[in-house]
Amino acid sequence: MKEVFFYEKTDDGRTLCKVCPKLCNIREGHRGFCRVRENRQGVLYATNYGQCTSHAMDPIEKKPLYHFHPGTYILSLGTVGCNLRCGFCQNWEIAHGNPASAYLSPERAVEAALASRKEGTPCVGLAYTYSEPFMWYEYVYDTAKLAGEKGLKNVMVTNGYANEGPLKEILPFIDAMNIDVKGFTERYYRDTCAGRLEPVIRTVESACRQCHVEITTLLVPGLNDSREEIESLARWLGGLGRDIPLHFSRYFPNYKFDLEATPRETMLMARDVAREFLDYVYIGNAPELDGGKTLCPGCSSVVIDRRGYKTTLAALDGDTCSGCGKKVDVVV
């Protein structure tokens, strides 16, 4: 447990949490929307500091990050808590449940990543994932700072629902983000996720200026999968840079949603529409539709070949296509 970084005390003993747009005004003895920030006698504490519910050495493509050190591994850590309530949540047991946890200090986390290198695993660093890392802010900040000092990379897999101050403070220690843009309408965010789109847009635009960014959107049938919404999303991202990778994930029934899985035809349509504005568009959760290959934006050669989580740099000379010499946006 640790006192949080971004909050204000009020005259009546409440605490105003300022890490995310929820701006929870928390009474003494109560917790905020995320369930992990608690007011104790007028001091706001992160009750999940160092409490690790999940950890694994994952292929970095599983985050998903396809253009950041492809073919390597990353030590992935997660905790409890989230500041959205997506009805389709794929990790709801962690984000909204009460899973068992064990304390993992920042020092031990960094030591574990470094030890894996000595054992021969091509581990590039640490990923803060599984639930919402901004609700683990103080721990992520402390760990990322220490990891960077030891030459490790730091990755956040996040919903991007954060305020500008906390985002600005942590970005210098983050090397890559996969930001989950749930949909591209305020109505979808309000009705399906209990949030707002605008702060997420701001996070993506800020992060793109400071670190490597890839985007994931889970397509839910009838809710955020129209051609018009997908085009709006891709057009906006393309305005930030055609080289931003976009991953469309296929929805399957989970948590509070029992809709049928996203039709394969919808996934293919989304990919084709987005490719009008973006050079790198991928389909997730449907390997039979898209093997995850990275194509050269110049000559369409396969520059990175993926089969499951087996990744091969097929035609890359550094960050350029060995066939036509076109630059490929990839961190190797």
In this structure, the number of other CB atoms found within 10 A of the CB of residue 33 comes to: 20
Say which residue the tokens 């760990």 belong to: 143
| CA dist 205 → 145, 151, 332 (Å) | 23, 26, 23
Phi first, then psi: what are they for 198, rounded to 5°? -55, -45
**Alpha-carbon distance 220 to 263, whole Å?**
9
pLDDT on residue 196? 98
DSSP type of residue 147: H
CATH superfamily of 51-292: Aldolase class I (3.20.20.70)
**Alpha-carbon distance 214 to 182, whole Å?**
13
pLDDT on residue 290? 74
pLDDT on residue 189? 97
Q: Over the stretch 293-317, which tens digit does the pLDDT of each residue have?
A: 999 999 999 999 998 889 999 999 9
Q: Which amino acid is at 246?
A: L
**Alpha-carbon distance 136 to 129, whole Å?**
10
* Contacts for 153 with CB less than 8 Å, ≥ 6 apart: 68, 69, 74, 124, 125, 126, 147, 175, 176
pLDDT on residue 200? 98
**Alpha-carbon distance 134 to 208, whole Å?**
17
Cα atoms in the 13 Å half-sphere on the side-chain side of 85: 9
Residue 27: Cβ-neighbour burial (10 angstroms; 0-12, 13-18, 19+): exposed
Closest CA to 211 of 152, 168, 171, 157: 171
Closest CA to 18 of 28, 4, 30: 4
For the chain, residues with pLDDT lower than 70 are none
pLDDT on residue 90? 82
- Write out the residue limits of the CATH 3.20.20.70 domain(s) in the chain: 51-292
Q: Over the stretch 6-33, which tens digit does the pLDDT of each residue have?
A: 999 998 999 999 999 999 999 999 999 9
**Alpha-carbon distance 142 to 152, whole Å?**
13
pLDDT on residue 331? 95
pLDDT on residue 256? 85
